[in-house]
Amino acid sequence: MAGLSCAEALVEAGYTVCSFDKGRGPGGRMSTRRAETSLGELRWDHGAQFFTARNEGFQRRVAQWVENGAAAEWVGRVVDVDTRGTVTPSRQDKRYVGTPGMNGVIRDMAGRLDVTWGARVERLSRANGLWSLSFEGGSDEGPFDAVVVATPAEQAVDLMKAVAFNFADRAGSAVSAPCWAVMLAFDKPLESGWDAARFEDGPISWAARNSSKPARGGAETWVLHASPTWSRSHLEDEKEAVEKMLATAFLSATLAPAPAYAAAHRWRFAQVETAPAGVSPWDPKVKIGVCGDWTIGPRVEAAWRSGRVLAGAIASEVG
Ligand SMILES: Cc1cc2nc3c(=O)[nH]c(=O)nc-3n(C[C@H](O)[C@H](O)[C@H](O)COP(=O)(O)OP(=O)(O)OC[C@H]3O[C@@H](n4cnc5c(N)ncnc54)[C@H](O)[C@@H]3O)c2cc1C
């Protein structure tokens, strides 16, 4: 989101931008996971669950996605469950999701830009005032006038420590929480009484009926997210063990029958907990910049804004 938001704004300002992403397709932490199951091919939003739009610029961008069919409002019944098990309706702004999966938004943005997928950048180098990128597998791209790193903080450190110590140092002070996600499918709808719940206590912090989101299709699918504390203490556990522990906790809380499908995914850097204050995103001397949710806050909207802020800084200083 951050990288494409920056690229969009730079292209609007007249720059030529090439983007490279190690992912096999559009998504990042707004990915949609597919699986063949006994109920057919199913999909889950296993990372970001929804996004809100508080900033006016982002509200306008969300309205365009909605108009293009890349996003829609999610009107699921969301509740909060406190430590005593008391259930209350959650009060929140409008919630939006990508359609037909969370990555619909990223796909829509990338479709209008020059993006190469499956391209893991291993090294940035600068010679004669120009940048080159070296990729896993041995290929190179460049020269480029300027480079932007739009990865989670921990991965930005690796890319920047040899070429932009100040940025690497700032990124190094960010701390992201991991998150174990479990994707479930059931033969029939669960009678939970809600479509998503935030739990104050226990191993699961969030459970959502994925299939209650718009354009998701018929099968009953759910996503569970473990709390940061639980995810940290089980970070190196086997996927199968995590899937069993979290599914069992969910089934006993909701009295749901055994799922027809279950799988786990580990997000090692899910949501930034400590964002370094006041990161100036652009170094005009060496023409390198950073964006990403970690420069503002742990949300889709913050990632989008970080890309626009960086593009503004580049456009005003590069000219
Ligand atoms: C489990 C979970 C739940 C969440 N829930 C919500 C929520 O409900 N609401 C909300 O607003 N936000 C939520 N978030 C946070 C939200 O997903 C992020 O804030 C946002 O998507 C971050 O966007 P980004 O562009 O900064 O980073 P990313 O989406 O992580 O994008 C970074 C990109 O960099 C690529 N990359 C990394 N290293 C390299 C490399 N060396 N070479 C090439 N490419 C590389 C990655 O493939 C990735 O596509 C959640 C996140 C997770 C994981």
Rounded to the nearest 5 percent, the helix, strand and coil shares of the chain are 30, 30, 40
Does residue 169 belong to any structural domain of this protein? yes
112 and 143 both lie in a single domain? yes
299 and 165 both lie in a single domain? yes
Q: If you search the block for the tokens 């569970």, which residue do you land on?
A: 224
264 and 185 both lie in a single domain? yes
End-to-end CA distance of the chain: 24
110 and 93 both lie in a single domain? no
**Average pLDDT score over residue span 253-260:** 93
Cα separation, 176 vs 235, in Å, equals 13
Whether the CB of 47 sits within 6 Å of ligand 1: yes
Whether the CB of 30 sits within 6 Å of ligand 1: yes
Cα separation, 55 vs 250, in Å, equals 35
317 and 185 both lie in a single domain? no
Residue 274: what pLDDT?
87
Q: Do residues 283 and 289 lie in contact, with contact meaning Cβ atoms separated by under 8 Å?
A: yes
Nearest to 190 by CA among 239, 254, 252: 254
pLDDT of 215-234, one tens digit each?
998 899 999 999 999 999 99
Which protein residue's CA is at the shortest distance from atom 44 of ligand 1?
21
**What is the pLDDT confidence band of residue 318, given thresholds at 50, 70 and 90?**
low
Nearest to 142 by CA among 133, 152, 150, 155: 133
Cα separation, 310 vs 150, in Å, equals 10
Q: If you search the block for the tokens 């809600």, which residue do you land on?
A: 194
Based on the structure, what is the number of domains in the chain? 2
What predicted TM-score, i.e. pTM, was given to this entire model? 0.97
Which protein residue's CA is at the shortest distance from atom 12 of ligand 1?
299
What is the percent of the chain with per-residue pLDDT over 70, rounded to a whole number?
Answer: 99
Q: Do residues 205 and 198 lie in contact, with contact meaning Cβ atoms separated by under 8 Å?
A: yes
Residue 91: what pLDDT?
83
Which protein residue's CA is at the shortest distance from atom 13 of ligand 1?
48
Whether the CB of 271 sits within 6 Å of ligand 1: yes
How many angstroms separate the alpha carbon of residue 242 from the centre of ligand 1?
Answer: 22
Does residue 263 belong to any structural domain of this protein? yes
**Average pLDDT score over residue span 85-110:** 94
153 and 282 both lie in a single domain? yes
- 30: DSSP letter: G
Question: What is the SS3 assignment for 250?
Answer: helix
Cα separation, 308 vs 114, in Å, equals 17
What is the percent of the chain with per-residue pLDDT over 90, rounded to a whole number?
Answer: 93
120 and 268 both lie in a single domain? no
Q: Residue 210, Cβ neighbours under 10 Å: how many?
A: 29
182 and 92 both lie in a single domain? yes
Does residue 107 belong to any structural domain of this protein? yes
**What is the pLDDT confidence band of residue 73, given thresholds at 50, 70 and 90?**
very high
115 and 161 both lie in a single domain? yes
Cα separation, 7 vs 270, in Å, equals 23
Does residue 160 belong to any structural domain of this protein? yes
Report residue 126: phi and psi, to 5°.
-130, 130
Q: Do residues 3 and 307 lie in contact, with contact meaning Cβ atoms separated by under 8 Å?
A: yes
Whether the CB of 185 sits within 6 Å of ligand 1: no
Does residue 39 belong to any structural domain of this protein? no
How many angstroms separate the alpha carbon of residue 252 from the centre of ligand 1?
Answer: 31
Which protein residue's CA is at the shortest distance from atom 53 of ligand 1?
270
- Mean pLDDT score across all residues of the chain: 95
Whether the CB of 244 sits within 6 Å of ligand 1: no
Whether the CB of 121 sits within 6 Å of ligand 1: yes
Cα separation, 288 vs 281, in Å, equals 8
Residue 92: what pLDDT?
75
Question: Nearest 5°: CA angle at 288, between 306 and 15?
Answer: 75
Between 280 and 224, the more confident residue is 224
**Element of type H or E holding 8:** helix 2-12
Task: CATH number of the domain at 216, please.
Answer: 3.90.660.10
pLDDT of 304-316, one tens digit each?
999 999 999 999 8
Host domain of residue 145: 1-27+103-174+275-319
State yes or no: cis peptide before 178, omega within 30 of 0: no
124 and 240 both lie in a single domain? no
111 and 250 both lie in a single domain? no
pLDDT of 133-168, one tens digit each?
999 999 999 999 999 999 999 999 999 999 999 999
Helices 300-318 and 56-68 sit at what angle, rounded to 10 degrees? 110
